C-alpha cells in the first residue's frame, strides 16, 4: 500500500465547509488539520490549498496526508469546524446540507479506492463519537455495498429542494440531529476537481442553460456535473470534474485527446481536460452573445495534487496553502 517513488501512500481530502466570510474560522479549521488540541503536530500532513467564495459562503480545504494519518487530520479539522460554524444560520447561494458539508477522500498514490472507503467510514464513525448531534450520509466507496455516487445520494436526500428540513433526513451514521450541524456527506471516490468558469453576464437563465448543456446527466461532457450561480455580480458555471475508469463509456463524438489519464495502484483513471470544458462553455456562451471572463481551478489536478503533496510533506511544509497566492478568493 505504498508509493514506489515517494515511499508513502498518500490520500487527499477536499474538505467542503459552509463558511467563507469569517477568515479566522477558516484559519482555525485549516490549522486543526495540522495540530491537535495540545498543539502537537500531526505528522506527514499538509494543507495544500484553501479556496473560499464569499457569495457561496463555502470553502474547500485540500488536506493531504498518509493513509495512516489522514483520518486523524480530517477528524480534527471537522471537529473544529463543527465548533465554529452554525449551519442553521448559513446564508449563501451554494446549496449545502451541513456545517461540514462534504468530506471526500481521494487516493493519490499507493492506496486503493476500497481502502479510501474504509478510511471514510472510520472518519464518519469517529465524528459522531466526538461531536454528539453530528450525522453523516455515506457515498461512493464508503457506501457499501451499493457504492452510490455523491450525485445520486444528494438527489435521494433532496439536495436541490427548496426549504428542505435537513434534520428530517435519515442518516447512515449518527442518530440524534443537531440543527447547528445539519448532515455531512462522507465518502470516497476517484479524484474530483472543481473548475469554475465565469460568464460576463448577469443572466442566470443563460448560465443554467449552459450548465445543462455541459452536464453529463443531461447529455453533456463525461464526468462533468455543473450548476450556475450568481457570483461577484456575474454568473459562474461551477463544475465538478470526476475521474473515471472508462473513457469510452457514454462518449459521443469526443476524441480521447480531450481526456487526461493517470495511474494509481495499477488502475488507470481519466478526466476531461478543464481546458476542453472551458472551450465548450465559451462556445455555448458565444452562441448567446456572451463572453467568459475567467476560469479558476479550485485546488489541483490529481497529478498536481500528488506531486505537491509529496513536495510539501517531504519538506515538512504543513501550511503550504500560505505559500499559494489567492488562497482566499
Residue spans per domain, the chain:
10-190+302-323, 192-298
At 326, the pLDDT band (50, 70, 90 cuts) reads very low
d(CA 327, CA 293): 20
- Mean pLDDT for the stretch of residues 107-118: 97
Q: Are 61 and 327 in contact (CB under 8 A)?
A: no
Give the separation between CA 145 and CA 261, rounded to whole angstroms: 27
pLDDT attached to residue 327: 37
C-alpha 225/C-alpha 138 separation (Å) is: 19
> Which of the residue ranges 124-128, 155-159, 172-176 has the most confident prediction, judged by mean pLDDT?
124-128
CB 32 within 8 A of CB 80: yes
Q: Residue 249's pLDDT is what?
A: 45
Q: Is 53 helix (H, G, I), strand (E, B) or coil?
A: strand
Name the CATH architecture for the domain at 10-190+302-323: 2-Layer Sandwich (3.30)
The pLDDT assigned to 3 comes to: 45
pLDDT at residue number 192: 98
Rounded mean pLDDT of 232-256?
A: 76
Q: What is the pLDDT of residues 82-94, one digit of tens each?
A: 999 999 999 999 9
CB count within 10 Å of CB 302 equals 24
Mean pLDDT score across all residues of the chain:
92
Instruction: Could you list the beta-strand ranges (E) of 189-310.
Output: 192-199, 224-231, 234-242, 259-264, 267-272, 292-298
Structure confidence at residue 248 (pLDDT): 56
Average pLDDT of span 42-61: 96
Note the pLDDT of residue 292.
Answer: 98
Gyration radius (Cα) of the chain, Å: 19
User: Are the C-beta atoms of residues 313 and 48 closer than 8 Å to each other?
Assistant: no
What angle, 0 to 180 degrees and rounded to 10, lies between the N-to-C axes of helices 70-84 and 113-130? Answer: 40
> For residue range 294-316, what is the model confidence (pLDDT) as tens digits?
999 988 999 999 999 999 999 99
Shortest CA distance to 77 belongs to which of 5, 131, 1? Answer: 131
CATH class of 192-298: alpha beta
- Kindly report the backbone phi and psi dihedral angles of residue 66, in degrees, each rounded to the nearest multiple of 5, phi listed first: -80, 165
Report the pLDDT value the prediction gives residue 323, as an integer from 0 to 100: 87
Q: Are 247 and 232 in contact (CB under 8 A)?
A: no
CB 263 within 8 A of CB 269: yes
Amino acid at each position: 500500500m505504498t508509493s514506489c517513488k515517494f515511499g508513502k501512500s498518500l490520500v487527499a481530502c477536499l474538505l467542503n465547509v459552509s463558511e467563507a466570510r469569517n477568515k479566522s474560522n477558516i484559519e482555525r479549521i485549516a490549522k486543526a488539520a495540522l495540530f491537535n488540541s495540545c498543539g502537537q503536530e500531526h505528522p506527514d500532513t499538509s494543507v495544500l490549498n484553501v479556496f473560499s467564495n464569499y457569495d457561496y459562503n463555502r470553502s474547500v480545504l485540500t488536506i493531504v496526508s498518509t493513509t495512516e494519518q489522514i483520518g486523524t487530520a480530517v477528524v480534527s479539522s471537522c471537529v473544529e469546524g463543527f465548533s465554529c460554524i452554525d449551519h442553521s444560520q448559513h446564508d449563501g447561494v451554494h446549496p449545502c446540507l451541513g456545517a461540514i458539508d462534504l468530506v471526500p477522500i481521494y487516493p493519490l498514490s499507493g492506496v486503493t479506492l476500497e481502502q479510501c472507503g474504509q478510511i471514510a467510514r472510520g472518519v464518519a464513525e469517529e465524528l459522531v463519537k466526538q461531536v454528539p448531534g453530528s450525522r453523516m450520509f455515506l457515498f461512493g466507496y464508503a457506501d457499501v455495498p451499493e457504492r452510490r455516487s455523491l450525485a445520486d445520494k444528494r438527489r435521494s436526500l433532496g439536495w436541490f429542494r427548496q426549504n428542505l428540513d435537513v434534520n428530517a433526513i435519515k442518516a447512515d451514521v449518527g442518530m440524534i440531529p443537531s440543527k447547528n450541524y445539519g448532515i455531512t456527506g462522507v465518502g470516497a471516490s476517484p479524484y474530483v476537481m472543481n473548475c469554475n468558469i465565469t460568464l460576463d453576464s448577469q443572466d442566470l437563465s443563460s448560465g443554467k442553460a449552459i450548465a445543462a448543456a455541459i452536464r453529463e446527466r443531461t447529455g453533456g461532457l463525461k464526468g462533468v456535473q455543473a450548476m450556475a450561480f450568481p457570483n461577484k455580480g456575474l454568473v459562474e458555471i461551477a463544475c465538478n470534474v470526476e475521474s473515471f475508469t472508462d473513457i469510452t463509456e457514454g462518449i459521443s463524438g469526443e476524441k480521447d485527446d480531450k481526456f487526461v489519464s493517470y495511474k494509481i495502484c495499477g488502475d488507470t483513471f481519466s478526466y476531461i481536460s478543464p481546458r476542453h470544458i472551458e472551450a465548450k462553455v465559451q462556445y455555448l456562451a458565444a452562441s448567446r452573445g456572451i463572453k467568459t471572463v475567467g476560469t479558476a481551478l479550485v485546488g489541483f489536478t490529481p497529478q498536481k495534487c500528488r506531486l505537491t503533496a509529496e513536495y510539501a510533506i517531504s519538506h515538512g511544509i504543513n501550511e503550504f496553502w500560505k505559500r499559494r497566492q489567492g488562497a482566499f478568493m
